[in-house]
Amino acid sequence: MKTRLGLSVLALVATLGAAAQAMSIPNGAYTLGSHPDGTENPPPYGLRLDGLLGDNSEEYTFNFSDASSAMSMTISDSVNFAGKKTVVISGTSFGGEDVGAVYNADLAGLWQIDFTYDNVMANGDMSELWTDDADAGNNTGKLTALFGSTGAEAGRLTAGDMFDLEDFAGSHDFSFKLKFGHRGFVGVSGFGWLNHRPSQANDQSPMDHIYASDWLFTAERIPPPPPVVPLPAAFPAGLACMGLIVARKRMKKN
């Protein structure tokens, strides 16, 4: 009876441990997609930067789930802040001016996105990560156009044009957050606000926030490769002995 009870307790502990791990956001690599609950969906998007080219009435979105997109995120221990995390969002995404359910064909293509959050905090079970509002503006990145505008939009955007990005908190107590169950999506979502402007050398002036400019993406962890288990030092010698034994048995039979 005691043995059965002990096994039941161990099974329960293992089950609870697996459940806790499933609801955590550990260090590692993640594939990013467009969130299903974006306000301007369709087309779906993982990033929105209205007014990107100077007209605040224009909406610009970036579809992380497009077949041509390849967006990822890595979470690691921060080398600058003890006990904190670093979150890096990077890759290429299809996007451009959202003109309803489709993109403006003259102003849509691939973009390079790179952004780094440092000093990221996490709760005890790693089920939620966030950046504090006091740190807003210290996390930065770049957006780079990989195409040029055409047709009626010719001349507005050139391949290689770059835009500065920085995090923004406004009235919130965080600028960026990773958590489960956000806006109806049961998995991990990333969301938070950004400021943006065309890149200019040595421009340290404050950025204005344009509504709406924010992340809203899904994140799926890429399983890490299984650990390599080293063979015992005696393993090759053991195989050799087994080979000799088999050979001798065959000789005796003959």
Q: Give the separation between CA 254 and CA 251, rounded to whole angstroms.
A: 5
Q: Give the separation between CA 242 and CA 246, rounded to whole angstroms.
A: 6
Work out how many domains the chain is built from and give that number: 1
| Nearest in space to 27 (alpha carbons), one of 75, 81, 72 | 75
40 found inside a domain = yes
Q: Give the separation between CA 216 and CA 65, rounded to whole angstroms.
A: 12
User: Tell me, what DSSP letter sits at residue 56?
Assistant: T
**98 close to 105: Cβ distance less than 8 angstroms:** no
pLDDT value of residue 245: 46
Full-model pTM: 0.82
State the DSSP string of 22-42: HT---SEEEEEEEBTT-TTPS
235 found inside a domain = no
86 found inside a domain = yes
Tokens of 226: 């299984």
Q: Give the separation between CA 166 and CA 189, rounded to whole angstroms.
A: 19
207 found inside a domain = yes
Output the CA torsion 28→31→36→41 (10° steps): 130
Q: Answer left, alpha or beta for residue 241, where phi above 0 means left and psi between -120 and 50 means alpha.
A: alpha
Residue 242 CB coordination number (10 Å)? 10
196 found inside a domain = yes
pLDDT value of residue 227: 81
Please write down the HEC assignment for all residues of 38-54. CCCCCCCECEEECCCCC
Q: Give the separation between CA 104 and CA 148, rounded to whole angstroms.
A: 13
Q: Please report, in tens digits, the pLDDT of each residue of the chain (254 residues total).
A: 444 434 333 333 333 333 344 689 999 999 999 999 999 999 999 999 999 999 999 999 999 999 999 999 999 999 999 999 999 999 999 999 999 999 999 999 999 999 999 999 999 999 999 999 999 999 999 999 999 999 999 999 999 999 999 999 999 999 999 999 999 999 999 999 999 999 987 787 889 999 999 999 999 999 988 887 775 654 455 444 445 444 455 545 55
- 154: containing domain: 24-225
Count Cβ atoms within 10 A of the Cβ of residue 250 and give its class: 0-12 exposed, 13-18 middle, 19 or more buried: exposed
Q: Give the separation between CA 224 and CA 27, rounded to whole angstroms.
A: 10
User: Tell me, what DSSP letter sits at residue 143?
Assistant: E
